[in-house]
Amino acid sequence: MEPSNLVPFSSFTVFFYLSIALLSLSSIAVSQTVQENFFQCINQNSELYVPFSSAFVSPNNDSFSSVLQSTAQNLRCLEPSVAKPQLIFTPLIESHVQAAVICAKEVGIQIRMRSGGHDYEGLSYISDLDSPFIIVDLGKLRAISVDIDDNSAWVQAGATIGEVYYRIFQKSKTHGFPAGLCTSLGIGGHITGGAYGTMMRKFGLGADNVLDARIVDAQGRILDRQSMGEDLFWAIRGGGGASFGIILSWKIKLVPVPSIVTVFTVPKTLEQGATKILYKWQQVADKLDEDLFIRVIIQNADAAQKGEKTVQTAYNAQFLGTASRLLEVMNQSFPELGLTQKDCTEMSWIQSVMYIAGYPSKTPPEVLLEGKSLFKNYFKAKSDFVREPIPEDGLEGLWKRLMEGDSPLMIWNPYGGMMSKISESEIPFPHRKGVIFKIQYVTLWQDADKDTAAKHIDWIRKLYNYMATYASTFPREAYVNYRDLDLGVNKDGNTSFIQASVWGSKYFKNNFNRLVRIKNKVDPGNMFRHEQSIPPLALTGKRRGKRMIH
C-alpha cells in the first residue's frame, strides 16, 4: 500500500520524500567520488597500471553481489538492510595491499579486510561502525609454497586452510598442520584468532605454530618478523583480526603425522545413556592420550517414540595412530563409550581431514583446491570455556532447553595435552591450563525472515544465560575467532579502553593490556578498527588508561 493513501499529502510528506531523494542522490555522488579517487590513487601508487575491470568491483557492476557474497559465510550478514561497501578491491600483488592502506587514508575511507570470509559477525565484509567503507579482499593472493626439508611453508592470506592441507599432503604423507576443521577457512583471518583443530591436543593451535609473517602496517610498509619486532609478531598470533595491519602471508611450521590415522563417530541419544556418558567424557576428555581428540556434537533429534524429541550426542574423533592402539586407549580411559573395531576407520591424514570437515567418503582430496565451503546458513554463535565438569542435573536442564530450540547445535571441544603446557601469555590466546573443554553454541536458520532471526537469537542468548553457572568466570572466557558482538562493541568509531576491556578480557584475559600497548605503538591513529578491534589509548583518557594497564 502507498503511504499517500494512508495520510493526507502534507508539506511534511513532500519534505520527507524530497530529503530522502536528496540524501540518496548525495550518497551516490559521494560514492562515485570515493571510487574514482581510490581507483586513481591506487594507480598512482602502483608500479603497473591496474585496469578497473581486473581488480575493482563497484555496486554499479553486475558482478557486485556475487563477488560480495562469494566467500561471505554468514547469510545473516548479507541481508539487504545491512550496509554494503562502496567498492571491493582485490589486490593482485602485495604492493597493491600497501597502496590500499595509503589510499584509504588519502581518500578518507575505512577498510574491511577479508581473507576467507568466515567471520561469525561478518566483520570482514560489513560495517556498522564506519560508513562508507571498502573491502580489501585478499582472495587472489593465495600462493602456497611448501618446503618439506625445512618443515615449513609460506602461505598467502587468501588461501584456505584446506588448500594448505592439500599442498602439504601433495609433498609428504607424513606432514601436516594443526589448524581448523572446516577446510574453507581463510588462513589470513583464521590464524589471527588462534586456529584450533583436531591436532591441538598434540601440537597446540595454528597460531602456536607460526614461524614468521609478512604484514602491511598502518603506514603502508611491508614488515616481516624481524622488521616488525617481537611485540607486533606476538600480537598478530591470536590477538584477533584486523587490529594491527593486513597479513600478507604466514610462515607456518609443519608437524609430523602418521601414515595411518583412525576416525570414528559414535552417536548416543538420551535413551542410550547420553547423560552419564557425557558426564564421564568431561572427566577424561582433557586427560586422554594426546594423539586422541574426541569432540562431542550435540543436536536435538526425533526420538524412537513418535512425536517425541530427544538429544543426540555424537562422539566425533581423530586418532593419530592405528585402530588397534586406539581401542587400547579407549578401553583404558573411556570404556563407557563402548567403542568397537567396527566403529573405527583407518585412513590417511588428509582423508581424516576431509572426514572431520564433513565431505562424503571417497571425495577426492583435490576438491580442497576449490577452496569452497560445503554449506552456508544464517547463524548466530557464542562460546564458553568450561573448567569444572557440568553435573548431571546441569546437563538435564541443558537438554530441556535444547529440545525447545529450533535446530540448535553445540560442539564440545576437548583441551588438555599441549594446550595446557603452553603458558597463557605465550601468544594472546589465553585459554590454556585448566580448561577441560570449549563449548560452541550455534543456532541456524534457512530463511531471511526477521522474526525467525529474532527468535533464534533470543533463544541462544537465553541458553547462554543458563550456562553461566557452568562456564568459566572472572572473566567468562570466549574465543575471539567465534566473534560475538553481544559481548560489546566499540561505539561511533571511537574505542575506549574501559569499554573494550569488557570483551577484551573475555577473549584475551590479561593479554588484553599488552595488546592495547602494542596497538598504541603501531597504530595510534586507529587506522585498523572495527566493532571489536583493540583500542589504542584514547588521547583524553591516556594518563588514566596508562596507569590502569600497568
Ligand X SMILES: Cc1cc2nc3c(=O)[nH]c(=O)nc-3n(C[C@H](O)[C@H](O)[C@H](O)COP(=O)(O)OP(=O)(O)OC[C@H]3O[C@@H](n4cnc5c(N)ncnc54)[C@H](O)[C@@H]3O)c2cc1C
Nearer to ligand X, 162 or 194 (CB): 194
Nearest CA-CA partner of 500 in 522, 485, 521: 485
Residue 243 Cβ, how far from ligand X at the closest point, in Å?
8
Distance between CA atoms of residues 181 and 195, nearest Å: 9
Residue 467 near residue 439 (C-beta atoms within 8 A): yes
Residue 247 Cβ, how far from ligand X at the closest point, in Å?
3
* 341 touches ligand NAG (CB under 6 A): no
Single out the residue of 53, 81, 305, 361 in contact with ligand NAG (rule: CB under 6 A). Answer: 53
Kindly identify the residues of this chain, within the stretch 63-92, that bind ligand NAG according to CB under 6 A. 63
The option from ligand NAG, ligand X, none interacting with 53 (CB < 5 to 8 A, set by class) reads: ligand NAG
Task: Go through 429-440 and write b for each residue having 16 or more CB atoms within 10 A of its CB, e for each that does not.
Answer: bbbbeebbbbbb
Single out the residue of 29, 494, 498, 521 in contact with ligand NAG (rule: CB under 6 A). Answer: 494
* 337 touches ligand X (CB under 6 A): no
Nearer to ligand X, 182 or 330 (CB): 182
* 473 touches ligand NAG (CB under 6 A): no
* 210 touches ligand X (CB under 6 A): no
* 247 touches ligand X (CB under 6 A): yes
| Span from 50-58, 108-116, 469-477, 498-506 in contact with ligand X (CB under 6 A) | 108-116
Q: What's the grid cell of residue 45?
A: 601508487
Burial class (CB in 10 A: 0-12, 13-18, 19+), 346: middle
Q: If DSSP states are collapsed to H, E and C, what string results for 169-225?
A: HHHCCCEECCCCCCCCCEHHHHHHCCCCCCCHHHHCCCHHHEEEEEEECCCCCEECH
Nearer to ligand NAG, 39 or 244 (CB): 39
Single out the residue of 139, 178, 241, 365 in contact with ligand X (rule: CB under 6 A). Answer: 241
* 446 touches ligand NAG (CB under 6 A): no
* 279 touches ligand NAG (CB under 6 A): no
Single out the residue of 185, 235, 323, 515 in contact with ligand X (rule: CB under 6 A). Answer: 185
| Span from 59-67, 68-76, 223-231, 343-351 in contact with ligand NAG (CB under 6 A) | 59-67
Q: Pairing between strand 133-137 and 110-114?
A: parallel
**All residues at 6 or more sequence positions from 19 whose CB lies less than 8 Å from its CB, including other chains:** none
* 182 touches ligand X (CB under 6 A): yes
* 43 touches ligand NAG (CB under 6 A): no
Residue 102 near residue 41 (C-beta atoms within 8 A): yes
* 492 touches ligand NAG (CB under 6 A): yes
Nearest CA-CA partner of 58 in 158, 134, 141, 137: 134
Burial class (CB in 10 A: 0-12, 13-18, 19+), 513: middle
Residue 436 Cβ, how far from ligand X at the closest point, in Å?
18
Nearer to ligand X, 277 or 354 (CB): 354
Single out the residue of 36, 43, 52, 345 in contact with ligand NAG (rule: CB under 6 A). Answer: 52
Residue 274 Cβ, how far from ligand X at the closest point, in Å?
23
* 331 touches ligand NAG (CB under 6 A): yes
Task: Go through 186-214 and write b for each residue having 16 or more CB atoms within 10 A of its CB, e for each that does not.
Answer: bbbbbbbbbbbbbbbbbbbbbbbbbebbb
Q: What is the dihedral of CA 200, 202, 206, 209, to 10 degrees?
A: 160
Residue 428 near residue 237 (C-beta atoms within 8 A): yes
Q: What is the largest CA-CA distance in the chain?
A: 83
Sign of the CA dihedral with 158 first, then 162, 163, and 164 last: positive
Burial class (CB in 10 A: 0-12, 13-18, 19+), 279: middle
The option from ligand NAG, ligand X, none interacting with 288 (CB < 5 to 8 A, set by class) reads: none
Residue 518 near residue 235 (C-beta atoms within 8 A): yes
| Span from 53-61, 191-199, 492-500, 512-520 in contact with ligand X (CB under 6 A) | 191-199
Residue 51 Cβ, how far from ligand NAG at the closest point, in Å?
8
Distance from chain centroid for Cα 367: 22
List phi, psi (to 5°) of 189. Answer: -80, -40
Convert residues 503-542 into a mask of x (bound to ligand X by CB under 6 A) and - (unbound). ---------------------------x------------
Nearer to ligand NAG, 32 or 259 (CB): 32
| Span from 113-121, 224-232, 302-310, 312-320 in contact with ligand X (CB under 6 A) | 113-121
Closest chain position to ligand X (CB): 241
Nearer to ligand X, 134 or 277 (CB): 134
Instruction: Report how many residues bind ligand NAG under the rule CB under 6 A.
Output: 12
Nearer to ligand X, 116 or 389 (CB): 116
Distance between CA atoms of residues 192 and 277, nearest Å: 35
Rg of the chain over Cα atoms, rounded to whole angstroms, equals 24
Single out the residue of 176, 197, 428, 545 in contact with ligand X (rule: CB under 6 A). Answer: 197
Nearer to ligand NAG, 52 or 466 (CB): 52
| Span from 34-42, 174-182, 418-426, 490-498 in contact with ligand X (CB under 6 A) | 174-182
What residue ranges bind ligand X (CB under 6 A)? 73, 112-120, 123-124, 138, 157, 180-182, 185-186, 188-190, 192-197, 241-242, 246-247, 481, 530
**Site for ligand NAG, rule CB under 6 A:** 52-53, 57-58, 60-61, 63, 327, 331, 492-494
